[in-house]
Amino acid sequence: MSSDTPDCAQPEAERRGSDGDNTVEGAEDPEGQAAEKEAEGGSETNGTEPMSKRQRKRLLRHQQWEEQRDLRKQRRKERKQKRRLGRPLQAVDGVEWMQRKRLRREATPSSLRLVVDCSFDSLMPLKDVKKLHKQIQRCYAENRRALHPVQFYLTSHGGQLKQNMDENDKGWVNWKDINIRPEQFQQVISKEEVVYLTSDSPNVLTELDESKAYIIGGLVDHNHHKGITFQRAQELGIDHAQLPLGSFVKMNSRKVLAVNHVFEIILAYLEKRDWQQAFFTILPQRKGAVPLEQEGGADGQKEQEQDSDSDSDSTLGIEEETSTKEIQESKCRKFEDGPS
């Protein structure tokens, strides 16, 4: 009895100690699982439903992307520095790069002002505003590398356009050699110095006056608002004109051009001082543009071909008629002579 008593009377603390490993492990396991779920974003918080596996992966990728932001920035700097150092070592590319740099240094800025009027923002859906943003980007890039860069203005800058630029092109705030103003153009430039470019104007430009400011309507409307820029110029009582497109070019489509096309044509004219060369340097092939002289020559050629076709047809008729008469005469002679 005495030998069995200590076993039966074994302290509860010792029994706990002997089973401690299992007891502690069993107690901590739920906490570990909860922590793991919380780390994966799958725990229920404030009564919300747990995230799916796909959502957890997406969240994890986003966290990793944010954590590596500085590393990506550093890598971009290193790649840029490597390209910069490698340029002079390349023979052909190095010469081409030096030529581009030399041209940029020799660029002579023009005093002419080109203004994109962005006051039509409310007339466009967001997809057209995005197209206008891309056209403005193209204008800025072309002006930066032009031989005679103009004084570039954006006026009435705000609304959907500014919001889209803030979201998708945050670097616009660092653009150089451009004046971006929230005011309307008539509040920035004197009305006497303004010429509104519109294809509906009866006035045709023959020369560019570099003391003037030429306004381009910042509107992508797909022909939904015909004549609106001409109407705006008349309401404001300012000069208006159209590019001399009809004097040099015949197109399959309408004469309305995109903002960047008008901008680039003027840049090309300042360099070449020839409207026809400027038009055919910039106009896209889809416009089906041909010089007026070439079109006249083509029409003349078609008329000559038609005349030659009619002449050949009439000659063929005479020959056929002659051969028919000869056959009839030979038959008559045979009949008169009788059978041989």
| Pair 143, 113: CB distance under 8 Å | no
> Is 29 inside a domain boundary?
no
Q: Which two tokens stand for residue 233?
A: 């110029």
> Is 55 inside a domain boundary?
no
pLDDT value at residue 224 = 80
> Is 321 inside a domain boundary?
no
What is the pTM for the complete model shown? 0.58
The predicted model gives 11-18 an average pLDDT of: 48
pLDDT at 332 over 90: no
| Domain of 120, in residue numbers | 108-292
**pLDDT tens string 250-269:** 877 667 789 999 999 999 99
CATH code, domain carrying 161: 3.40.1280.30
Q: Which of 188, 266, 205, 254 is nearest to 227 (CA)?
A: 254
**pLDDT tens string 211-232:** 999 999 999 987 788 889 999 9
pLDDT value at residue 98 = 56
Which one has a higher pLDDT value, 5 or 62? 62
Query: Catalytic: 7?
Result: no
For the chain, how many structural domains are there in total?
A: 1
Give CA separation, 109 vs 106, 185, 211, in Å.
10, 21, 13
**pLDDT tens string 101-134:** 545 557 899 999 999 999 999 999 999 999 999 9
pLDDT at 281 over 50: yes
Which one has a higher pLDDT value, 327 or 53? 53
Which one has a higher pLDDT value, 209 or 41? 209
The predicted model gives 5-29 an average pLDDT of: 46
Catalytic choice (70, 221, 309, 311): 221
> Is 26 inside a domain boundary?
no
> Is 24 inside a domain boundary?
no
pLDDT value at residue 5 = 46
Question: What is the SS3 assignment for 180?
Answer: strand
> Is 217 inside a domain boundary?
yes
